[in-house]
Amino acid sequence: MKKNNGELGFFKRNSEKIMTITIILILILITLPIIIGYFWLIIRSFSEDMVRGFVPTKLTLKNWRFLWSEMKGYPNIWVTTFNTSIVALGVMAIEVLITSLGGYALSRYDFPGRSSIMKLILALHAFPAISLMVAVFYLLKVLNLLDSLFGIILLKASLEIPWGTWIMKGFYDGVPWELEMAGLIDGYSRFETWIKIVLPLVKPGIAVTAVFAFLSGWSEFVFINTFIFSQKFWTLSKYVKGIIGDFRFADYGLVTAVGLFYMLPTIIFFFFVSKHMIKLTIGGVKG
């Protein structure tokens, strides 16, 4: 009997190891094309040409010339980067502020139409942005916000707020009501209780919302390409599109260098806040 139990334990341990190895191999196979793509992007940005598309002929910094010299027909890369940062940070600030308030209201207050509002929030996030293009164009024109970074910030933030509100509600749901009650008993107002007790407990939710808002603003292209006409308001996404031009005559060394430059800030930003991302599911599923 002991021998059988030992054999069962041995087979169980082996089967778990085999399963773990299998999962790791599958993940490697899935991510390998992505890793190869990023590796090629880095190598191509520092090479003059690629033999058969894969082997660099000569290493050079020529493809990165846009960093220290302004390219003819294109705005200054640092002004463009500043514009991109303004859009990303603006979207992040508006979304974090509104979703922090809206998520708290939906989580803590029971008012008529609360359930309908929550369903409407999900429905609003389901609409693709492209379907709103004509209405948005008319609205921006009426408000005199065409060809304006402020208009893009308001537009992008309004489209991201429904999702962020739902996520923040989930995190607020995870905060025990008894903690707020203790604050009220100690003499805090409802607002002071929210600021001093509740907000510190939902920092992971704020971090998650901020990350996705920043990335959404940083990577925005469709609205910027449609509603921004002046080069002084270009962002990096439109700069990359302009560099590509006609793909048959594109300078792929320059394209990869600009693309890599465009990616770096988001990678750095994500790296510093990634520890909060694992808590997304914990808070988000409580909606």
Classified as helix, coil or strand, 149 is helix
Same domain for 98 and 235: yes
90 and 224 fall within a common domain: yes
pTM over 0.85: no
- Across the range 139-155, mean pLDDT stands at 91
178 with 109, same domain: the answer is yes
Residue 10 has pLDDT above 70, yes or no: no
Considering only residues 283 and 262, tell me which one the structure prediction assigns the higher pLDDT.
Answer: 262
| Residues 76 and 169 grouped into a single domain | yes
Give the pLDDT confidence score for residue 275 in this predicted structure. 62
Residues 207 and 75 in one domain: yes
Could you say which of 60, 88, 110 is where a domain stops? 60
Across 79-96, average pLDDT: 94
Confidence tier at 217 by pLDDT (50, 70, 90)? very high
User: Are residues 253 and 143 part of one domain?
Assistant: yes
Question: Rounded CA gap, 84 and 78, in Å?
Answer: 10
The mean of the pLDDT values for the chain is: 82
Decide if pLDDT at 14 tops 80. no
Are residues 236 and 110 part of one domain?
A: yes
pLDDT digits (tens, 9 = 90+) for 35-60: 888 888 888 888 877 766 667 777 88
Q: Tell me: the pLDDT tens digits for 152-206?
A: 999 999 888 888 888 888 888 888 888 888 888 888 888 888 888 888 888 888 8
Contact present, 216 and 160 (Cβ < 8 Å): yes
Which residues form the domain of 194?
69-284
Among 271, 158, 260, 255, CA closest to 216: 158
Same domain, 142 and 202: yes
Same domain for 122 and 32: no
Are 46 and 75 contained in the same domain?
no
* Residue type, position 193, single letter: T
Name 257's Cβ contacts closer than 8 Å, sequence gap at least 6: 45, 46, 63, 64, 66
Say whether both 36 and 75 belong to one domain. no
